[in-house]
Amino acid sequence: MHRYVVKIGSSSLTSDEGGLNRNKIHFFASELAALHQTGVQPLLVTSGAVAAGFTEIGYRKRPKHLHEKQAAAAVGQALLMQAYQEAFAEYSIGVAQILLTRSDFSNRLRHHNALMTIDELLKHRIIPIINENDTVSVNELKFGDNDMLSALVANLTKAQQLIILTDTDGLYTADPRKDPDAKRFERIEHISAELLGMAGGSGSSVGTGGMRSKIDAAQVATRGGVPVFVGRVREPGDLLLAKEGIGKGTYFDTASHTVSSKKQWVGFHSLPQGYIVVDGGAEAALLTGGKSLLPAGIVEVAGQFEPGDVVEVQNAAQRIIGRGIVNYASWQLHVTAGLSTEEVAKRVEVSRMEVIHRDEWMPFG
């Protein structure tokens, strides 16, 4: 059964002043219901809890302090789910609330349990409605916006497509609201540094994500094998058009070399416990040589970690070049960094000589 992840942002669900717009919610529910009726399994990743709650709680404008946002989310999440439940009930479709945090993805057991829950709901034709658990998330562990959350959910569930809805009809060479000569990208096969540089900030005081965050999410999803649509759904039938490849927006093709579920977890979900700095030879071996990382290529170690933890790898310029599952404890690397494998064997006892095996390595860029 094919799965489609649809992400809707705050600005698509609320008024500019905040508070839920019930007409908008009913419209999107009708679009998802039409998708549901084709026999596929839709999943909805939604924003809007803070935007829905801050006016209800009595704030004059969207709060800036974390504890105020969390209070607004606690009020708004209930309102958001009530509105969705009422809207989908008109089509006799059941919905379920799933609130996730970054740690739910970084812990492999919780990551697996989340997937099992989603699988069970979809089996019973219930639409999971997924949001970040804003009431307990802390700034340093937040997704930043739900664009990235939707990409992680799409990869987790092996979705057929990720559909990210926005208030513009795709990605342009410049802001079409300011530049009449801006050209729209119909299809993007490779996300380049130049493309990332074109993306601007948020166009709404209610939402938190701009086009850059959508491109970042598309990069993660496509590397996991999930094609992406970024565009507008404003008229009845637009969501089905997006699914069929003729929607009002930009399509991102899947990367030529998609990565395994294990490497997706290492690269996108895990929380690194430290970092390793490598020399130029080791950098080349990891990025272009298809080799594992050996102690001889290490010049610096930071953090406290044990075998089986994930660490970041940086080059000499302190740029992160990837992540991997480490086979050494941090103290072992401190005493073996820069040494040959023969010297390492004399000093420490490890189960594998590779610091990071190539099968447990996820390069970035």
Q: Which pLDDT belongs to residue 203?
A: 45
- pLDDT by residue (tens digit) across 149-187? 999 999 999 999 999 999 889 998 887 888 888 889 999
CB atoms within 10 A of CB 151: 31
- pLDDT by residue (tens digit) across 194-207? 787 776 544 443 33
Taking the C-alpha atoms of residue 21 and residue 52, their distance in angstroms, rounded to an integer, is: 9
Q: Which pLDDT belongs to residue 330?
A: 97
Taking the C-alpha atoms of residue 149 and residue 101, their distance in angstroms, rounded to an integer, is: 9
Residue 5: which pLDDT band, with cuts at 50, 70 and 90?
very high
DSSP 20: B
**309, 213, 329, 320: which is closest to 266 by C-alpha?**
309
Q: Which pLDDT belongs to residue 23?
A: 94
Q: How far is CA 184 from the centre of its chain?
A: 24
pTM, full prediction: 0.81
Delimit the CATH 2.30.130.10 region(s) of the chain: 272-363
Give, in order, the Cα–Cα distances in Å from 177 to each of 43, 172, 174, 249. Answer: 31, 10, 9, 16
Residue 112: which pLDDT band, with cuts at 50, 70 and 90?
confident
- pLDDT by residue (tens digit) across 82-98? 999 999 999 999 999 99
Taking the C-alpha atoms of residue 181 and residue 198, their distance in angstroms, rounded to an integer, is: 14
Q: What is the CATH number of domain 272-363?
A: 2.30.130.10
Please compute the mean of the pLDDT values over residues 310-336 and round it to a whole number.
95
Please, what is the average pLDDT of the chain? 89
CB atoms within 10 A of CB 363: 16
CATH architecture of 3-259: 3-Layer(aba) Sandwich (3.40)
Supply 14's token pair.
């609320």
Taking the C-alpha atoms of residue 131 and residue 143, their distance in angstroms, rounded to an integer, is: 11
Q: Which amino acid makes up residue 107?
A: N
Delimit the CATH 3.40.1160.10 region(s) of the chain: 3-259
Contact yes or no for 323/362 (Cβ under 8 A): yes
- pLDDT by residue (tens digit) across 283-305? 999 999 999 999 999 999 999 99
- pLDDT by residue (tens digit) across 259-273? 777 788 888 878 899
Query: Does position 119 have pLDDT exceeding 70, yes or no?
Result: yes
Exposure class string for 85-119: b at 16+ Cβ within 10 A, else e: bebbeeeebebbebbbbbbbbbbeeebeebeeebe
Taking the C-alpha atoms of residue 362 and residue 261, their distance in angstroms, rounded to an integer, is: 11
